[in-house]
Amino acid sequence: MAVTDKRYYHAIQIVPDNCTGCTSCVKVCPTEAIRVRNGKAHIDATRCVDCGECVAICRFHAILPKSDPLDIIHKFKYKVAILSSAYAGQFTEDIPYPTAKKALLELGFDEVAEEAFVTDFMISLIRDYIRQHREIRPILSSNCPAVVRLIQVKYPSLLPNLLHQEAPMSILTRFLREKYMAEKGLSDTDIGIFLIVPCVAHVTAVHQPEGAYKHLQDGAFSIGMIYGKIRERLRKMNDENPVIDTYEQGLTWALAGVEAEMVDTNDIRALSVNGMPNVLEILSKVEDHYLDQYDYIVLRSCTNGCVGGCLNVENPFVAMSRIKKLIKNASKQDIDVSELKSLYKEGEFDVVPLEPRSIMQLDQDIKQAIQKMKKLNEILVLLPGLNCSACGSPTCYALAEDIVSDKASIDDCVVLLKRHQKEED
Ligand code: SF4
Ligand code: SF4
């Protein structure tokens, strides 16, 4: 069952036959987007921010991630893959990172680029942006699409605090498109650029980019899906000394803590936060101006940053350790970022100011909304206040909201039902 609403694309789908109605997903959803009704989970497309928490928690495989089929690359003359830095942490240490990167060419790509290529440039861009926007504190990172959407849905007053620049893989997409058009005489439509990503939020961001001015990528593949195909190729490849450029020094982008350390300098104080519960707590504190002493806060919805995305295959701590080892052993490379700098100065990486997402209001009509709020408060007094989710709504307040919106009945509260049954016995 697709999570549908014409306005929003989502990279997850429900398999109703697998759903047992256990409500685990209801409890972890940060935007209260999920309800279990008649024993099956349903997702409100207007509230979902594609964080993947529900995909990770459901042990019955009833919420599955969506990824594009690999054969869509063949629609294009020139096929380019851009690797998220998390990819480097997925392979055991007997497989050199350059081999794992080169194997992608065997899948039919003409070029394989890495997010890591733009890391140093991104750090200087972020510092420049922070210094040019002294009036806004703290600036919030915009690389994690789930965090950007979370702010649109739950913390709209913080939208001006977002770093209004494209994320690294989109900046690289812009740069490569211009480069291949100029160098290879290709048109925009000849070139297919695809991301290989660690999380559902990045798949969604490719299909529905927030604030993008121009055509970006043409599809996204999950690291998990690509990993299986790469392992098959690796068995056939005899490639002990692969000749391919890699940028291990820039793999820091996959690790949330390291990005903040790199941005932090004499005049910039940076904080790093990862994991959805921490992100929610910190955003509430930012709203209360409790963290105005920070210039920049890096927010990643997954544990340890992108290595924690639910489309990876490796444990996030193991992947993080492997990436740190690759960075430690990397030889220092000087990357020419002059073209990237010119594009930045020309405003090519700017994004459209982001708008809040309107989520459920009790009623469009203010009089009706007041009536419903009164009824909601009356229902709330009757409910047990246990927030147990056994009714299929995440909290007693959410159930009261659902009842006044005719999406649930007070009989859905199993605690009240049992109480009434006892009284009748
Ligand atoms: S976690 Fe959610 S989707 Fe999975 S079985 Fe339980 S209720 Fe259904
Ligand atoms: S992806 Fe995240 S926001 Fe969307 S329904 Fe699942 S837990 Fe909720």
Distance 252 CA to ligand 2 centre (A): 27
Q: Indicate the top mutation candidate among 46, 48, 66, 200 to test ligand 2's pocket, ranked by most ligand atoms within 8 A of CB.
A: 48
Query: Is there a domain that residue 351 lies in?
Result: no
Omega prior to 138 cis, within 30 of 0: yes
CA gap 46, 25 in Å, rounded = 17
Give the single-character DSSP code of 192.
E
Work out which ligand 1 atom sits closest to the CA atom of 57.
1
Are residues 24 and 120 located together in one domain of the fold? no
Joined tokens for residue 181: 């058009």
Are residues 51 and 98 located together in one domain of the fold? no
Last residue of a domain, which of 45, 66, 87?
A: 66
3-state DSSP call for residue 372?
helix
Q: Which residues line ligand 1 (CB under 6 A)?
A: 19-25, 36, 41, 57-58, 60, 62-63
Query: Is there a domain that residue 356 lies in?
Result: no
What values do phi and psi take at 32, rounded to 5? Answer: 55, 45
Distance 338 CA to ligand 2 centre (A): 40
pTM given for the model: 0.93
Give the closest ligand to the alpha carbon of residue 34. Answer: 2
Work out which ligand 1 atom sits closest to the CA atom of 26.
2
Instruction: For ligand 2, atom 5, name the residue with the nearest CA.
Output: 48
pLDDT of residue 363: 81
Query: Is there a domain that residue 96 lies in?
Result: yes
Q: Which of 193, 229, 206, 227 is CA-nearest to residue 75?
A: 193
Work out which ligand 2 atom sits closest to the CA atom of 3.
5
| AA identity, residue 415 | V
pLDDT of residue 3: 67
Are residues 21 and 140 located together in one domain of the fold? no
Work out which ligand 2 atom sits closest to the CA atom of 63.
6
CB 12 within 8 A of CB 54: yes
Last residue of a domain, which of 39, 66, 93?
A: 66
CA gap 85, 302 in Å, rounded = 14
CA gap 29, 6 in Å, rounded = 22
The half-sphere exposure of 140 on its side-chain side, counting CA atoms within 13 A, is 32
CB 62 within 8 A of CB 56: no
Are residues 339 and 206 located together in one domain of the fold? yes
Distance 393 CA to ligand 2 centre (A): 14
CB 79 within 8 A of CB 194: yes
pLDDT of residue 237: 77
**Total Cβ atoms within 10 A of residue 375:** 14
Q: Indicate the top mutation candidate among 54, 58, 64, 393 to test ligand 1's pocket, ranked by most ligand atoms within 8 A of CB.
A: 58
Which residues is 191 bridged to in the sheet?
Answer: 78
Are residues 187 and 257 located together in one domain of the fold? yes
Residues of the chain where predicted confidence (pLDDT) is lower than 50: none
What's the CATH code of the domain at 401?
1.10.15.40
Joined tokens for residue 114: 């890495």
Are residues 110 and 10 located together in one domain of the fold? no
Distance 319 CA to ligand 1 centre (A): 28
Joined tokens for residue 416: 């009240």
Work out which ligand 2 atom sits closest to the CA atom of 50.
1
- What residue numbers bound the domain in which 408 lies? 363-425
Are residues 185 and 264 located together in one domain of the fold? yes
Distance 114 CA to ligand 1 centre (A): 35
Distance 53 CA to ligand 2 centre (A): 6
Are residues 376 and 332 located together in one domain of the fold? no
Q: Indicate the top mutation candidate among 49, 63, 208 to test ligand 2's pocket, ranked by most ligand atoms within 8 A of CB.
A: 49
Query: Is there a domain that residue 352 lies in?
Result: no
Q: Which of 358, 300, 4 is CA-nearest to residue 152?
A: 358
Distance 42 CA to ligand 1 centre (A): 9
Give the closest ligand to the alpha carbon of residue 153. Answer: 2
Query: Is there a domain that residue 7 lies in?
Result: yes
Last residue of a domain, which of 287, 318, 345?
A: 345
Q: What's the structural domain count of the chain?
A: 3
CB 303 within 8 A of CB 316: yes
Give the closest ligand to the alpha carbon of residue 63. Answer: 1
Instruction: For ligand 1, atom 8, name the residue with the nearest CA.
Output: 19
Are residues 148 and 274 located together in one domain of the fold? yes
Are residues 74 and 48 located together in one domain of the fold? no
Give the single-character DSSP code of 220.
E
Distance 29 CA to ligand 2 centre (A): 5
Are residues 134 and 38 located together in one domain of the fold? no
